[in-house]
């Protein structure tokens, strides 16, 4: 079965084509990205086993972007399909499923309307996700289209974990609650961790640490998410590339009054000018911060804050899990920064977390990085959200046959 996985952002389309015999036997036959959709400098970067190429040309909208993707898959030197008819199903990453979707679903008119109704909860993400779905329905007609939601994995949060201490009527009117994000990533690495540990996921207490430009930690008990650091939006939680994470809400009103800022301007500051960038004044990329740290106080401070906040969340999740079997680092920082991993784990020895310095030098591959005498197994697991989407799409499409 040929499964096309599509991830539409506001100005990008990322994609991978999977050839799947079953959930565990597959190959990625092509992948790529269309960037700068609707703005100058649009380009397609496409890779397959046959060839790699970059094409720069105007891409006014997501439909045109997906036309380019299909052309790259079905023609020229990179051709891996004889035609669009060889695509058996399409899996779409959808950021927000609200309370309605706690699992992946076949896209129908009713499902599409429900995704559209969640746009208020994810105004930057759900609209382009919808554009991608509609374009694929037109360009690849008659095949199953499946939605896989970032929020779905966190649908198991108990009510006491997702309700905010504001008037309950706002939850009833606007569904203001903790939703959590990066769910597909947390789900994938939790499943891989169980396999690495040689134990059923249903027996384990795990903390999964997705650390990229966006950062979220999740407490997973017996395979189910019971708490997660991102909340109503991806702004809550840990220190991120440009997002502030947890702050006193009164800071918003203070800044509005002192700086004469509008609500939109404060939102821009907290989402795009804070976090690693805001503290360091150097960059939103922790690699730049690590390079600068030996001779720059604010860079060192940034790294200290990242580690300190991470320890607080790990400690809190240890408490609600009633102990810990595995700690997983994933995503750009989690997979590639031995320094940050060690900084986070240092001082947590009393929780049974003991890092092996030599094992911890690993980057971008699965590895156990804890010592043999560590009560908690600490792992690096590269995330693979696209594979989760492909597998869910394969299951749903196969079930229709």
User: What's the pLDDT tens digit per position in 330-355?
Assistant: 999 999 999 999 999 999 999 999 99
Model-wide pTM > 0.85: yes
Task: Name residue, tokens 């509609």.
Answer: 134
Q: Is 323 marked as binding a ligand? A: no
User: Is 77 annotated to bind ligand?
Assistant: no
pLDDT category, 106, cuts 50, 70, 90?
very high
- Using DSSP, state whether 148 is helix, strand or coil: strand
| Distance (Å, whole) CA 361 – CA 378 | 13
211 among annotated binding-site residues: yes
Residues of the chain with CATH 3.30.420.40: 2-149, 183-380
User: How far is Cα 156 from Cα 20, in angstroms, rounded to an integer?
Assistant: 29
List beta partners, residue 53. 46
Which residue shows structure tokens 């203001």? 176
Helices marked H in 180-249:
183-197
8 Å CB contact between 69 and 79? no
The answer to whether the annotation marks 14 as part of a ligand binding site is yes
Are 182 and 214 in contact by the 8 Å Cβ rule? The answer is yes
The CATH code of domain 183-380 reads: 3.30.420.40
The reply to whether 361 sits in an annotated binding site is no
Per-residue confidence band for 175, with pLDDT thresholds at 50, 70 and 90: very high
pLDDT surpasses 70 at 401? no
Query: What phi and psi, each to the nearest 5 degrees, are found at residue 229?
Result: -80, -35
List, for residues 354-391, the tens digit of each pLDDT value: 999 999 999 999 999 999 999 999 999 999 999 999 99
The whole-number average pLDDT for the span 31-37 is 91
Any idea which residues carry the catalytic annotation? 150
- pLDDT at residue 353, rounded to an integer: 98
- Mean pLDDT of the region 54-78: 91
Q: Is 7 labeled as ligand-binding?
A: yes
Q: What is the mean pLDDT of residues 3-8?
A: 94
Residue range 145-155: average pLDDT?
95
User: What confidence tier does 24 reach under pLDDT thresholds 50, 70, 90?
Assistant: confident
Q: Is 287 annotated as a binding residue?
A: yes
Q: Does residue 120 have a pLDDT over 70?
A: yes
Give me 196's structure tokens.
């690495």
- What backbone torsions phi and psi does residue 104 show, to the nearest 5 degrees? -75, 145
pLDDT of residue 354: 98
Whole-number CA gyration radius for the chain: 22
Q: Is 295 annotated as a binding residue?
A: no
Average pLDDT in the 149-162 region?
96
Burial 148-180 (b: 16+ CB within 10 A, else e): bbbbbbbbebeeebbeeeeeeeeeeeeebbbbb
pLDDT of residue 153: 96
Alpha helix (H) ranges present in 227-337?
250-259, 263-272, 275-280, 286-292, 297-321, 331-336
Strands (E) across 325-366 are located at: 326-330
CATH class of 2-149: alpha beta
């Amino acid at each position: 079965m040929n499964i096309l996985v599509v991830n539409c952002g506001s100005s990008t389309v990322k994609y991978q084509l999977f050839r799947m015999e079953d959930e565990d036997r597959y190959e990625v036959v092509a992948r790529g990205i269309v960037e700068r959709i609707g703005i100058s400098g649009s380009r397609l970067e496409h890779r397959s086993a046959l060839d790699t190429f970059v094409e720069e040309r105007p891409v006014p909208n997501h439909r045109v972007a997906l036309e380019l993707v299909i052309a790259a898959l079905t023609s020229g030197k990179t051709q891996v399909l004889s035609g669009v008819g060889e695509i058996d199903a399409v899996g779409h990453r959808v950021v927000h499923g609200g309370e309605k979707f706690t699992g992946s679903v076949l896209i129908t008119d009713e499902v599409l309307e429900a995704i559209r109704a969640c746009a208020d909860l994810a105004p930057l993400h759900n609209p382009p996700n919808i554009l991608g779905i509609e374009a694929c329905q037109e360009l690849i007609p008659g095949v199953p289209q499946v939605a896989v939601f970032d929020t779905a994995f966190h649908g198991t949060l108990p009510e006491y974990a997702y309700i905010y201490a504001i008037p309950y009527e706002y939850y009833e009117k606007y569904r203001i609650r903790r939703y959590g994000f990066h769910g597909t990533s947390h789900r994938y690495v939790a499943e891989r961790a169980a396999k690495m540990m040689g134990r059923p996921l249903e027996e384990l207490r795990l903390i999964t640490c997705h650390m990229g430009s966006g950062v979220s930690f999740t407490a997973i008990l017996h395979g189910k998410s019971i708490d997660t650091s991102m909340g109503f939006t991806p702004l809550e939680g840990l220190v991120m590339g440009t997002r502030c994470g947890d702050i006193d809400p009164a800071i918003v009103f203070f800044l509005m009054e002192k700086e004469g800022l509008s609500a939109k301007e404060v939102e821009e500051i907290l989402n795009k000018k804070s976090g690693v960038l805001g503290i360091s004044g150097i960059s939103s990329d922790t690699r730049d911060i690590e390079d600068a740290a030996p001779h720059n106080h604010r860079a060192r401070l940034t790294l200290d804050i990242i580690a300190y906040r991470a320890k607080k969340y790990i400690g809190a999740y240890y408490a609600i899990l009633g102990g810990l079997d595995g700690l997983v680092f994933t995503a750009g920082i989690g997979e590639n920064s031995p320094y940050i991993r060690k900084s986070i784990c240092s001082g947590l020895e009393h929780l049974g977390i003991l890092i092996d310095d030599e094992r911890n030098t690993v980057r971008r591959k699965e590895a156990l990085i804890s010592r043999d005498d560590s009560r908690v197994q600490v792992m690096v697991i590269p995330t693979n959200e696209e594979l989760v989407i492909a597998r869910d799409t394969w299951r749903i499409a196969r079930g229709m046959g």
